[in-house]
Amino acid sequence: MSHTGALKPSGADWTEIYRELKNAVTLRHYSPKTLKAYAGWTRKFQAYAKSKDPRLVSVDDVKDFLTWLAVEKDISASSRNQAFNALLFLFRNVFGREFGKVDGIVRAKRRPYIPVVLSRAEVDRIIGFMHDPHKLIISLMYGCGLRISECLSLRVHNFNFDMKILTIHDGKGKKDRTVPIPEVLMGELQAQLDRVIAQHDQDCQAGFDGVFLYGQLEKKYKNAARELVWQWFFPAKELTPVPKNKERRRYHVHETSLQKALGKAVKKAKIPKRVTSHTFRHSFASHLLQANYDIRTIQELLGHSDVRTTMIYTHTVKSVTLKEVKSPLDF
């Protein structure tokens, strides 16, 4: 970060800061959501500090900001921790300074969170009130334990129908993993693939510019955007115009439309629980645990880097651990 001129105690231009922040996040291959979150907290911090010249910003400003979030704004512990991480990244990778010894900044302690879990009957009831493609998306999220972003961003090449395996690329933390495709969904998924192929043929004939690709994919594979294997498995109904390049590209089903469809189904099913798309991932893990699957297996299927994250699901089901110790010879 380099600046010239007098240091302004307020009203300084932070445009260059956001450009450098974007570059730093992109360089480390962090997700677009991380960039959005970090930029959001930087904007809030900038407003709190009255756009003070970045060279005048101190750790005391950070302490005051985090205290203000906790006391005045009553922000949750998880949000305060995210703000802390964003500003730590800003200091280290944009300002080029370390926090050093940060007396007085205590990482917010999150309260233990017990996820909302549906019974199998409730899962079936909700899905019964849904229509494709949303019905199939929620079914796959429950059947494979997927996050909403993972499911919506699936492409044709993620599915190996011969091996009955689904590969999730760039999950949370950029980790890849494989999960078995539910047998009961094979027919519906094959039919969805047929629809994607038909839609792709129509798009190519209409001269579309392909699907949206992220990162360096398009530079690396020139024709990838128009190739079948890179098409979204759950494509949006309409093409999205890109005025900057005068292109028409296809995006995947939007998160908002899925959440709206799910909300209507939950209401019709009269489920007395707070249900979101993520509830089906929680239910997937809890039902596997209930069926006495090993916690490490569930950890791998969910893509958790730390088994302690997976252990939260032990609070959502009754214990099925065998209490009486026996010799393996007596099994």
- Residue pair 158/167 in contact by the 8 Å Cβ criterion: yes
| Known catalytic membership, residue 248 | no
Task: Choose, from 147, 157, 169, 177, the residue flagged as catalytic.
Answer: 147
Choosing from 80, 250, 287, 304, the catalytic residue is 304
* Separation CA 233–CA 138 (nearest Å): 14
Q: What is the gyration radius of the CA atoms in the chain, in angstroms?
A: 24
Respond yes or no: is residue 287 known to be catalytic: no
Catalytic residue (one of 22, 157, 195, 278): 278
Q: Is 172 a catalytic residue?
A: yes
Known catalytic membership, residue 109: no
Find residue 180's DSSP bridge partners.
165
* Tokens encoding 160: 């190996």
Burial 78-116 (b: 16+ CB within 10 A, else e): eebbbbbebbebbbebbbebeeeeeeebeebeeeeeeeb
Catalytic residue among 44, 134, 252, 313: 313
- Catalytic-labelled residue, pool 97, 125, 172, 177: 172
| Rounded Cα–Cα distance for residues 130 and 136 (Å) | 9
Active site residue 274: no
Note if 120 is an active site residue.
no
Where helices occur in 91-185 by DSSP H, the ranges are 120-128, 134-144, 148-152
Contact 107, 30 (CB under 8 A): no
d(CA 271, CA 265): 9
Which letter, b or e, does each residue of 271-291 get, where b requires 16 or more Cβ atoms within 10 Å of its Cβ? beeebebebbbbbbbbbbbbe
Written as one letter, the residue type at 165 is I
Q: How many residues does the chain have?
A: 331
Identified catalytic residue from 52, 281, 282, 287? 281
Report, as residue numbers or ranges, the catalytic residues: 147, 172, 278, 281, 304, 313
